[in-house]
Structure 1
Amino acid sequence: MRETGNAKTPVATDNAVFEDLFRLQAEAMQALAAPFLPTAHAKAPDPGDFQHWAMSGAKLQKMWLDFMAEQTAVAEPAWLRMVDGGRWKQMFDEWAGTMPITQAETQARLWDESLQLWNRVIELYAPQGAVPAKAPADVAPDALPRRDRRFADPRWREQPWFALLHQTYLLLAERLEDMAQEISGLEPERHGQVRFMTRLITEALSPANFPMTNPLVIERTLATRGENLVKGVEHLLADLRRGQLSHTDGEAFEVGRNIATTAGKVVHETPLFQLIHYTPTTDQVAAVPLLIFPPWINRFYILDLNPKKSFVSWALDQGLSVFMVSWKSADASMADVTMDDYVRAQIEAIDVVRQKLAVPTVHTIGYCVAGTTLAATLAVLARRGEADKVASATFFTAQVDFSEAGELCHFVDDAQLRWLESLETDGYLDGRYLAATFNLLRGPDLIWNYVINNYLLGEDYPAFDLLYWNGDTTNLPARWHRAYLSELYRDNQLVVPDALSADGTPIDLHRITTPCYIQAGREDHIAPANSVWKLTRHLAGPWKFVLAGSGHIAGVVNPPAAGKYQYWTNPGEPASLEAFVAGAQETKGSWWPDWRAWLADLDGDTVPAKGARVPGRNAIEDAPGRYVRMR
């Protein structure tokens, strides 16, 4: 009831209207699905179920209205800044203006190819003269012209409609990518952007991503009477509130409780980093300690997820004294931080370890961007005559030559840099934006897979420590981030002798004589193997290159006990990655033991694991420390 003038007139409430609309939608979905879904897979709702459908509709309406009411109190929601519809529209318009899709000749060719495809698919289900038509179950997966793992479920081929739908999509996506590849007259950078944008668009338009064109979603919705959509919208709104796509159950893990649990102490702290000294697990340890620099783009515990996956734990068991840097997530106090500060921090950490253990030198590891900076640090030390402070340097998927740095280069033109600058807050960039960028590089796996499973099917999130780490973002100093993208990714100045400097010292990578172990991932989409390989072209000292199976994370975090993947080595002197692969020897399993043997060959001396080798005296706090918990 609501009042009209002076009288109370019974009218339908907004909720009732919404329930009626939802009921009509349910009837429409039932009618649409009936010809396509076999009764073995789904039972259409009877009229008595419509009350349940109406309740689902009411839940959806209430959740949405509550969310919109919340958002009116937020000045600028994080999700709205991330979506930035105007920016994406501009990018789409630029893409559409470049592609020949609007040309009559192109459209005619696509129409002809589509007709041929439809005839071929229809013939599979109803061969000429066949009575009755072939049963859908008799159509083998490899009988269809095109295959894609997104449509591997049998439901995509059990009915002609869904088979035609996804086969047509795959044809059009294939032709759009061909068009993008064949465009002429563009600068290489612009051509790469067009290809990248084409892939993003075709991935987003997959029929698997929409409820009315995905047979699995239709079946689930009919079976649950809309409850999957209610649960899916709960997931969606929760992600909008936090401004980030969820990949795992965020309540399943807690840093220091069941993740990042290797025993140790924080023994040094600055405004930029904490230094963790881990407790030895062997009676004797290597005389030369190991200092690990993780990327500050992510939390350090990718190398200490749990005892079975932990590189730190494994290294301790191999008799190494292990130290780890834990970088602080950027805030307003770090607005002026630059690469100089990270180079100084690495040098400081090296000196602190040397002083605490009374040793002249340390082994080092730099992962990803921390490896990039480690190369600069080695060059600075070499220029200063202090190269002997570092006994060896290991690079995990690290780039110094960005001439072939992969798809991240599509985010470094002037327009993209201006857009990223607009996202900065108080001198830092929210790590969620960078996480979204990395997700775009693997859209089907890191975006659309979760849209389907968690938003449309309403499934629960898995409890997966690696995905928890992936979503545990860190903020970046804005000034450093802009310089990193422009000076390294765009202008590739790090490999130009003395073009850049750090802490007042010019950087020339050719001065590095420190023994180096360089690991790359064969399927790495963030630091492509060929780009990592280029580090070997800029070193004056001995090096060993190892190509690991898998990508940027699994190629590194691959404990020997898991027995997964493989790695390749080549004892010769190949001049290119292609030559390396051509003459490489494959070894099954993890490359970690190969690295440990390489380290032992440099220095096999050991000392008792006691005294300063055991953290405790004058420690600041227990590992994993405060900085890793800061958001």
Structure 2
Amino acid sequence: MTTSDELDRGTSPEHFERLKENMERVDQLSQKLVEIMANRKGHHPGLDGPNQELFARAATSYWSEILQNPAKLMEQQVEYWGKSVLNFAEAQSVLAGEGEEGSEKATPQDRRFGNPMWDNNPYFHFVKQQYLINSEAIRSAVSQVDDLEAIDRHRLRYFSDQIINMMAPTNFLPTNPDALEKALETEGQSLIDGMQNLVDDLEANNGELVVRLADESAFEIGGNIATSAGEVVFRNRMMEIIQYHPTTETVHETPIVLFPPWINKFYILDLKAQNSLIKWVTEQGYTLFVVSWINPNSDYADVGMEEYIEEGFLTAIDKAKDICKVKQVNAIGYCIAGTTLSLTLALMKKRGDKSVKSATLFTALTDFSDQGDFTPFLQNDFVDAIVEEIGDDGVLPSYIMARTFSYLRANDLVYGPAIRSYMLGETPPAFDLLYWNGDGANLPGKMAVEYLRGLCQRNEFAEGGFELFGELLNLKDVDIPLMAVTCETDHIAPWMNCYKGVQQMGGRSKTFIVSQSGHIAGIVNPPSRNKYGHYTNSDLKGTPEAWMEGASFNEGSWWPRWESWLKKRSGKQVPARKPGDSNNPVLEAAPGSYVRIRATD
């Protein structure tokens, strides 16, 4: 917080002169900002919110309630007016020296309002309290809209919360004490740095605002992240296959083929040696193959789920079998790759292909009957906008998906970083996980629409069958030994929904685990950290709630439990294998070339 001495220095003529000069530099940068925005391509407006029908239905429902029960509206309004008038009266009293500063302290803990000035300064205290009063009034009004379908109520709550978060006083310079203090302390340099950060972010994404979460200059793929030793032993238009060097003298006969999601890069599982699942797996004595997907451009417009399965999953499995001279592999699929691995296993069942001995799914949805936090984005108006956005280019840009995920946690992943970067002029932190999070991938248009329409919206894999390669694929066709690892606080693939999908699979040997933490931290949870535990229960017959009620809690990572399960399905020990063979020569060192392709390249 700024001290009185600093304020005295800050009000000197010399200080104001330097502040004025810096404000002129801010104005120059703002001109650059205008130029960038003038050349911005833009995106379909339907991706910014629901169509007007939702708000029209909500307004009609609310108006109908008013006509039927006007006393209820008056009660709400009087309460709102009363709180607003009392808040104003308190501010006036404090300004007149008659009241106690920050008298209303019993507000919920909110990191946005950590600066003492939110309580001690009458102006900022008034602004904060009025924002909280307004937020409560909006949420109360939305909760009173009853005459809507459950999905519409969910969407109305979500988008009204987005408006509330967007209008927080912390998001605006005149009502953000941290930013104002920093501007005075630095004589406006923080605003110059912030404007430069904004210009840089817009230029990096062709005029679209995607807030950088990490200092990209601090990381080098293959330098200080994704450093596990391995070789690219195969490449086609869809993927590179990396075979990692063994770290033991002998290995299990059956190799592992790991399929990461193609929405992000594979190195989430190899950020650094201390938490690398890839490194840990090789240390347990396994031959490990990992797929590194291409970051597609417009040339991939007609690539769909069939191409990912045929040229990706099936090809990788065949290559691993060929190189290791075995008939079967153990397969792993993470997130959307776990969903697609399940489709692949159902297809292989139809074809009588027994190349996969066991499967492990990491946070993989296969039953989409409950759309959870993604409900607002999986309705026809939003998906229709995605289809139009794909348009002639045939590719869904990575920032669309990144933005969707980020706004599920808007204050942490959008507004908080934006304030630090653009208002305070700070350099984003050198955080490897956030660097990976910002290194997204585009999606082929055909694949994205198939996934959104057939799996997410119509839930065909769980209800009636999802058609690929002329076959109708069902969850019950997945009948090989399987372990599903889910995460307790995962908002992308909620564990309860994953559980429902595993329940419907046809195998007799099914193991289900719920790790503590979320979509990433619950999976990237090395035993050495001893941070997050996990839940186990062999009874998969009941509801998700019954499963958790009967589950046992286990301290520490699930990795050793999974490895004990896996080694029973991995055969005898054989001499450790060097990457590649005469038919599949080494092409280049890991992490390969595809992982270095940026979405904007």
- Does the 8 Å CA contact 1:45/1:225 hold for their aligned counterparts? no
- Does the 8 Å CA contact 1:500/1:507 hold for their aligned counterparts? yes
Residue in 2 aligned with 1:173? 135
Choose which of 366, 390, 401 in structure 1 pairs with 2:367: 401
Residue in 2 aligned with 1:55? 21
Q: Per-residue deviation at 1:264?
A: 0.7
Compare 37-46 and 326-335 and name the one that shifted more. Answer: 37-46
Residue in 2 aligned with 1:586? 553
The alpha-carbon distance between structure 1 residues 449 and 612, as it changes in their structure 2 partners (threshold 3 A), is closer
The alpha-carbon distance between structure 1 residues 535 and 125, as it changes in their structure 2 partners (threshold 3 A), is farther
Residue in 2 aligned with 1:98? 58
Q: Per-residue deviation at 1:309?
A: 1.9
Residue in 2 aligned with 1:389? 355
- Does the 8 Å CA contact 1:321/1:613 hold for their aligned counterparts? no
Residue in 1 aligned with 2:4? 39
Unaligned runs of 5+ in 1: 1-35
Instruction: Determine the C-alpha separation between the residues in 1 that align with 2:570 and 2:48.
Output: 54
The alpha-carbon distance between structure 1 residues 89 and 358, as it changes in their structure 2 partners (threshold 3 A), is closer
Residue in 2 aligned with 1:13? none
Query: Alignment partner of 2:275: what SS?
Result: coil
Alignment of 1:442-481 (within 5 A): 442-481=409-448
Alignment of 1:227-246 (within 5 A): 227-243=189-205, 244-246=210-212
Choose which of 330, 334, 350 in structure 2 pairs with 1:363: 330
Choose which of 193, 198, 204 in structure 1 pairs with 2:155: 193
Choose which of 481, 484, 498 in structure 1 pairs with 2:451: 484
Residue in 1 aligned with 2:538? 571
Instruction: Determine the C-alpha separation between the residues in 2 that align with 1:124 and 1:254.
Output: 52
Choose which of 296, 302, 320 in structure 1 pairs with 2:286: 320
Instruction: Determine the C-alpha separation between the residues in 2 that align with 1:358 and 1:547.
Output: 35
Alignment of 1:299-448 (within 5 A): 299-344=265-310, 345-386=312-353, 388-424=354-390, 426-448=393-415
Instruction: Determine the C-alpha separation between the residues in 1 that align with 2:190 and 2:579.
Output: 57
Instruction: Determine the C-alpha separation between the residues in 1 that align with 2:62 and 2:181.
Output: 34
Instruction: Determine the C-alpha separation between the residues in 2 that align with 1:64 and 1:163.
Output: 31
Q: Per-residue deviation at 1:134?
A: 4.7
Query: Alignment partner of 2:251: what SS?
Result: strand
Taking only the aligned residue pairs, the percentage that are identical comes to: 33
- Does the 8 Å CA contact 1:41/1:219 hold for their aligned counterparts? no
Choose which of 32, 37, 49 in structure 2 pairs with 1:66: 32
Residue in 2 aligned with 1:271? 237
Choose which of 549, 552, 576 in structure 1 pairs with 2:516: 549
Q: Per-residue deviation at 1:196?
A: 1.2
Instruction: Determine the C-alpha separation between the residues in 2 that align with 1:192 and 1:151.
Output: 27
The alpha-carbon distance between structure 1 residues 39 and 313, as it changes in their structure 2 partners (threshold 3 A), is same
- Does the 8 Å CA contact 2:101/2:121 hold for their aligned counterparts? no
Choose which of 493, 500, 510 in structure 1 pairs with 2:460: 493
- Does the 8 Å CA contact 1:247/1:461 hold for their aligned counterparts? yes
The alpha-carbon distance between structure 1 residues 529 and 611, as it changes in their structure 2 partners (threshold 3 A), is closer
Letter in 2 for 1:417: V
Choose which of 166, 174, 183 in structure 2 pairs with 1:212: 174
- Does the 8 Å CA contact 1:330/1:476 hold for their aligned counterparts? yes
Residue in 2 aligned with 1:32? none
Residue in 2 aligned with 1:203? 165
Query: Alignment partner of 2:273: what SS?
Result: coil
Q: Deviations over 1:7-33 (max 9, x none)?
A: xxxxxxxxxxxxxxxxxxxxxxxxxxx
The alpha-carbon distance between structure 1 residues 432 and 565, as it changes in their structure 2 partners (threshold 3 A), is same
Q: Per-residue deviation at 1:163?
A: 3.0
Choose which of 138, 143, 146 in structure 1 pairs with 2:108: 146
Instruction: Determine the C-alpha separation between the residues in 2 that align with 1:263 and 1:615.
Output: 20
The alpha-carbon distance between structure 1 residues 617 and 477, as it changes in their structure 2 partners (threshold 3 A), is closer
Instruction: Determine the C-alpha separation between the residues in 2 that align with 1:352 and 1:451.
Output: 45
- Does the 8 Å CA contact 1:292/1:323 hold for their aligned counterparts? yes
Compare 460-469 and 162-171 and name the one that shifted more. Answer: 162-171
RMSD of equivalent CA atoms: 2.9
- Does the 8 Å CA contact 1:121/1:144 hold for their aligned counterparts? no
Letter in 2 for 1:193: R
- Does the 8 Å CA contact 1:343/1:503 hold for their aligned counterparts? no
Letter in 2 for 1:380: L
Query: Alignment partner of 1:81: what SS?
Result: coil
The alpha-carbon distance between structure 1 residues 96 and 52, as it changes in their structure 2 partners (threshold 3 A), is farther
Q: Are residues 1:623 and 2:583 paired?
A: no
Query: Alignment partner of 1:308: what SS?
Result: helix
Query: Alignment partner of 1:364: what SS?
Result: strand
Instruction: Determine the C-alpha separation between the residues in 1 that align with 2:62 and 2:123.
Output: 25
The alpha-carbon distance between structure 1 residues 482 and 69, as it changes in their structure 2 partners (threshold 3 A), is same
Q: Deviations over 1:433-469 (max 9, x none)?
A: 1111111111011001111111111112111111111
Q: Per-residue deviation at 1:133?
A: 5.3
Q: Per-residue deviation at 1:37?
A: 7.8
Q: Per-residue deviation at 1:580?
A: 1.5
Q: Are residues 1:601 and 2:563 paired?
A: no
Letter in 2 for 1:517: M
- Does the 8 Å CA contact 2:244/2:579 hold for their aligned counterparts? no
Compare 402-411 and 372-381 and name the one that shifted more. Answer: 402-411
- Structure with the larger RCO, 1 or 2 (CA within 8 Å, 6+ apart): 2
Instruction: Determine the C-alpha separation between the residues in 2 that align with 1:462 and 1:121.
Output: 39
Q: Per-residue deviation at 1:111?
A: 4.8
Instruction: Determine the C-alpha separation between the residues in 1 that align with 2:157 and 2:7.
Output: 40
Query: Alignment partner of 1:251: what SS?
Result: helix
Instruction: Determine the C-alpha separation between the residues in 1 that align with 2:381 and 2:401.
Output: 17
Q: Per-residue deviation at 1:178?
A: 3.6
Q: Per-residue deviation at 1:176?
A: 2.3
Q: Deviations over 1:498-536 (max 9, x none)?
A: x32222332122022211111111111111122111122
Letter in 1 for 2:150: P
- Does the 8 Å CA contact 1:570/1:584 hold for their aligned counterparts? yes
Instruction: Determine the C-alpha separation between the residues in 1 that align with 2:393 and 2:243.
Output: 33
Residue in 2 aligned with 1:521? 487
Compare 618-627 and 40-49 and name the one that shifted more. Answer: 40-49
Q: Per-residue deviation at 1:567?
A: 1.4
Q: Are residues 1:507 and 2:473 paired?
A: yes
Instruction: Determine the C-alpha separation between the residues in 1 that align with 2:88 and 2:519.
Output: 39
Q: Per-residue deviation at 1:107?
A: 6.9
Unaligned runs of 5+ in 2: none
Number of residue pairs the alignment of both structures matches: 582
Q: Per-residue deviation at 1:275?
A: 0.7
- Does the 8 Å CA contact 2:87/2:126 hold for their aligned counterparts? no
Letter in 2 for 1:293: F
Query: Alignment partner of 2:370: what SS?
Result: coil
Q: Per-residue deviation at 1:573?
A: 3.7
Residue in 2 aligned with 1:18? none
Q: Per-residue deviation at 1:119?
A: 4.5
- Does the 8 Å CA contact 2:190/2:425 hold for their aligned counterparts? yes
- Does the 8 Å CA contact 2:246/2:578 hold for their aligned counterparts? no
Query: Alignment partner of 1:147: what SS?
Result: coil
Letter in 2 for 1:258: N
